[in-house]
Chains A and B, each alone.
Chain A
Amino acid sequence: MLAIVDYGVGNLFSLACSLKAIGVEAVLTGEAEVLTQADHIILPGVGAFGDAANALRRTGLDRAVLQAAERGTSLLGICLGMQLLFEYSTEYGTHKGLGLISGCVQPIRPVVPADYKVPHMGWNGLHFPKGRPASPLFRLIQEGNCVYFVHSYYGTDCEAHTIATAEYGPELTAAVARDNIYGVQFHPEKSGSVGLNILRAFCEL
């Protein structure tokens, strides 16, 4: 069973529809108990890091997600959900994340050229790190395929876990992985057939 963590942050309609399109009936849940039964968990999220991290803690879902990750449940963080996997973020103050991926979340603005617009919004191509086999998450897509991004912060100090980047001046972290834990900065549910193939690969893990 695939569970989407519903902790009151963001709209899960498109995500649930995209999973349905690849034949997966997802369960939207805000209950820790349901997460213990899932073999795949998606952690979505939009908005500010601090608000989302607090919402996860208030509902006790942070512990449920951590325990599931510990048990080996396949976990996918999307957009802010990916950022929440990190140790901490500097968005409007310093906020603690789940600490499943080492590194921190920082603003894009200081690292991209002055004439580049922030947020980094639109379709950008994925680059895979050299000298490493491509992640199983990207088993059904090609390097260079475009996916849809909308973000003003990005994961840093996470080279060892980076499985894809996107060029926006410098290469920005686009996806991370450690064992059964995955995170994508872009929106696979808004990335056409490429995005659906990434979700399909995740569901087949």
Chain B
Amino acid sequence: MIAKRIIPCLDVKDGRVVKGVNFRELADVNSPVELAQYYSACGADELVFYDITASAEGRSLFTDILTQTAACVFIPLTVGGGIQTLDDFDRVLKCGADKVSVNSGAIRNPSLIRQAAQRYGNQCVVLSVDAKRVDGQFRVFAKGGREDTGLDAIQWIQHGVQNGAGEIVLNSIDTDGVKGGFDLEMLKAVCDVVDVPVIASGGAGCIEHFVTLFHTLPNVDAGLAASIFHFGEVTIPALKQALAAQKIPTRL
């Protein structure tokens, strides 16, 4: 039985881990390499590194950090943020990433997913989607959740999977940062139309939210969160014990 994955997300800017609450306020947390080692030792099943740097210097700092992390952390690493071209895929895969997550880059360049899947395999390409309810529709937002693209999220995700995305990260802007639980309604709408792994993101505030997620939506493969892990509000060992106690398949 395959285990449900617990994935801490590290937003990295200028070599430091940060976390945006509703994508706005940023608070410095810790060194990415140290945090990654800590999470791996605690039993995290995978790590996501999200590069939110804008400058070229920051970008090379990010690949340095990625290389350092891959040299000492031996669980799958997904990298996202600023992935616009196949060269970007190449750059982060060479530094030890296992999967590459595309978001705005796929909106700007609709052939990116297909090209990347052909070159690196579907399992390497993750489509990350920031979605929000607008006029009774789940709408795709770009630029870190600031820009309404007008795209229907469900259609966009279906399209991405057809083009070769091997995994979906669905981040609900409506629940992100609120700590009231994952967006089960939006996640169900996505799980109903795709047959690739779906990672739930946005809204986890306590252990019970993960239990509810996997009980309510058995097709969701993983739960992703950032600040609740970084600030120790939820510890991964306690979370995994709770999932196991609820008979949810878990890697202990």
- Interface-located stretch among A13-21, A60-68, A153-161: A13-21
Residues on A with beta carbons closer than 8 Å to the beta carbon of B166: 119, 121
Query: What are 16 inter-chain pairs, A to B, with CB distance below 8 A?
Result: A11-B93, A11-B94, A13-B70, A14-B98, A18-B74, A119-B122, A122-B2, A122-B45, A122-B221, A125-B1, A150-B123, A167-B1, A190-B75, A191-B74, A192-B40, A195-B74
List 9 other contacts, CB 8 Å, given A14-B96, A168-B1, A193-B74: A21-B72, A47-B121, A117-B195, A120-B2, A122-B197, A124-B1, A150-B123, A190-B74, A190-B76
Q: How far is the CA of A179 from the CA of B251 in the complex (A)?
A: 31
Closest to B119 in A: A47
Residues on B with beta carbons closer than 8 Å to the beta carbon of A120: 2
Closest to A48 in B: B121
CB neighbors of B among A177-204 (8 A): 189-193, 195-196
Given contacts A13-B96, A117-B197, A146-B3, contact A46 B74 (CB under 8 A): no
Closest to A144 in B: B252
- Nearest-neighbour CB distance to chain A for B241, whole angstroms, equals 15
How many interface residues does B have (CB within 8 Å)?
28
Main secondary structure of the interface of B (DSSP, over half): loop
Cβ proximity bits A133-152 to B, threshold 8 Å, 1 near / 0 not: 00000000000001010100
Closest to B218 in A: A115
- Nearest-neighbour CB distance to chain A for B60, whole angstroms, equals 17
Say yes or no: A123 contacts B123, CB within 8 Å: no
